[in-house]
Structure 1
Amino acid sequence: MSIQLHEENGGTMIVVQVSGKLVKADYEHFVPEFERLVQAHGKLRLLFDMAGFHGWELSAAWEDLKFGVKHFDDIERLAMVGEKKWQQGMARFCKPFTKAQVRYFDHSDAAEARKWLEQANGTD
């Protein structure tokens, strides 16, 4: 249904909010904006907020896979914030598809996710 992203802390953190069920058209807007941010800031630290997220249509899942392959090395840290067991499983599933440090946080721990993203490299 939608992917929204915005910069925080002068571009040091990018918040990506997904909601509903994603469709292929959602990626037509998201991917160019993400690529603009990579060009502007280099490797990104992402807070991926999945509150209200219900998954992908098949064509959107394919777009997501292509996005992951293309941007394998563009994310430094990825904090996945969710509210459902399958979303926690997504965090484990995506680790082999990125060089990013990936951690899952329950939605009630969103402030902790932000702190983790702001930490210096090499600390966990």
Structure 2
Amino acid sequence: MLQVLEFTSDNVIATKADNQLKAGDYEKLHPIVHNILTNGKKVRWYLEIARFEEWSDDPFLQCISHADDFEKICCVGANEDDKRIISLLQPFKNAQVRFYTIENKKAAETWIKEN
């Protein structure tokens, strides 16, 4: 399940995922992504992972449109083991991708917002 967080604004989409991500979760993001692109900006995605197990069998990554329009992706996980999520973000080949542990959550929020 994917929850949109309150610091979503401008061209930053802030989300928190609990467990698995499914194609239906991207449907929540798509209108926000489209709005950012309509305003002539690139998308920045903050993804906090409560308990990362894996992507579901549902093709979450395959349904993502506009992957080339993401400029930054910040993944925040409970521990260093969650860093493996970065290898799954290959469709976002133009984006800068960083991983932070939950202890460094504020640094992650700062990075995703800065120019």
Partner of 2:44 in structure 1?
45
- 2:65 equivalent to 1:64: no
Q: 1:63 to 1:22 in 2, by over 3 A?
A: closer
SS in 1 for 2:83: helix
Instruction: Find 2:114's aligned residue among 115, 119, 122.
Output: 119
Instruction: Find 1:103's aligned residue among 87, 94, 98.
Output: 98
Any conservation in 1 of the 2:67–2:91 contact (CA below 8 Å)? no
Any conservation in 1 of the 2:4–2:13 contact (CA below 8 Å)? yes
Q: What code does the residue aligned with 2:62 have?
A: L
Q: 1:6 to 1:42 in 2, by over 3 A?
A: farther
SS in 1 for 2:47: strand
Q: What code does the residue aligned with 1:119 have?
A: E
Give 1 or 2 for the bigger CA radius of gyration: 1
Q: Which moved more, 1:23-32 or 1:97-106?
A: 23-32
State how far apart, in whole Å, the 1-side matches of 2:87 and 2:19 are.
Answer: 21
Normalized per residue, which structure has more helix?
A: 1
Question: What TM-score, normalized to structure 2?
Answer: 0.77
State how far apart, in whole Å, the 2-side matches of 1:58 and 1:10 are.
Answer: 30
Q: What is the number of residues matched between the two proteins?
A: 115
Q: What code does the residue aligned with 1:58 have?
A: D
State how far apart, in whole Å, the 2-side matches of 1:22 and 1:113 are.
Answer: 21
State how far apart, in whole Å, the 2-side matches of 1:96 and 1:21 are.
Answer: 18
Instruction: Find 1:77's aligned residue among 72, 80, 105.
Output: 72
CA RMSD of aligned residues (A): 2.6
Q: 1:20 to 1:90 in 2, by over 3 A?
A: closer
Unaligned runs of 5+ in 2: none
Residue 81 of structure 1: CA displacement?
0.5
Q: 1:20 to 1:12 in 2, by over 3 A?
A: same
User: Percent identity, aligned pairs only?
Assistant: 23
Q: Which moved more, 1:77-86 or 1:21-30?
A: 21-30
